Amino acid sequence: MSQQRIEVTLAGQKITLATSTEHEPLLRAACVLVDEQIQLAINGGNRSIERASMMAALKIAGDFIALQKNQAQQSTNSNVSSEEVARLQAEIHGLEEQVDTLMQTLSLPGSPRPIVP
């Protein structure tokens, strides 16, 4: 991984950062998100860049924590769902076996209505 320097703007200030070529798009996207949140905090009444930056950091951290909790909850729900799917698949398999048995019974010689496959 070769290091390169990129220039970004945060809260109206140009900043030079070092990054690898492969991480540059992620870093640029992160800078855009942080800058947007700082601008929202400034427009919301925070007059100092330091305070707006802290508010932006708290907002992003809160969003990140909420996302982590949501993913953990979905992971827990998916485990329950996979157990339910397994139970239903077993039930379907049992029903298929019963239908196969009934089909064989109906197609026995002498049955009133032979079933043609």
The pLDDT value given to residue 114: 46
Query: At 31, is the pLDDT very low, low, confident or very high (cuts 50, 70, 90)?
Result: very high
pLDDT at 76 over 80: no
The pLDDT value given to residue 101: 74
Judge whether 44 lies within some domain.
Answer: yes
Judge whether 28 lies within some domain.
Answer: yes
Domain count, the chain: 1
Cα distance from N-terminal residue to C-terminal residue, the chain: 63
Name the β-bridge partners of 8.
Answer: 15
Which residues constitute the domain of residue 65? 3-80
Handedness of CA 35, 38, 44, 50 (dihedral sign): negative
Q: Which residues contact 55 (CB under 8 A, 6 or more apart)?
A: 37, 41, 44, 46
Average pLDDT of the residues in 69-82:
76
Closest CA to 56 of 69, 66, 42, 68: 42
Judge whether 102 lies within some domain.
Answer: no
Judge whether 16 lies within some domain.
Answer: yes
Widest Cα–Cα separation across the chain: 93
Instruction: Kindly report the pTM of this predicted structure.
Output: 0.61
pLDDT tens sequence across 34-53: 999 999 999 999 889 999 99
Judge whether 37 lies within some domain.
Answer: yes
- Least confident piece of the model among 9-18, 32-41, 47-56, 88-97: 88-97
Judge whether 111 lies within some domain.
Answer: no
Judge whether 71 lies within some domain.
Answer: yes
Judge whether 96 lies within some domain.
Answer: no
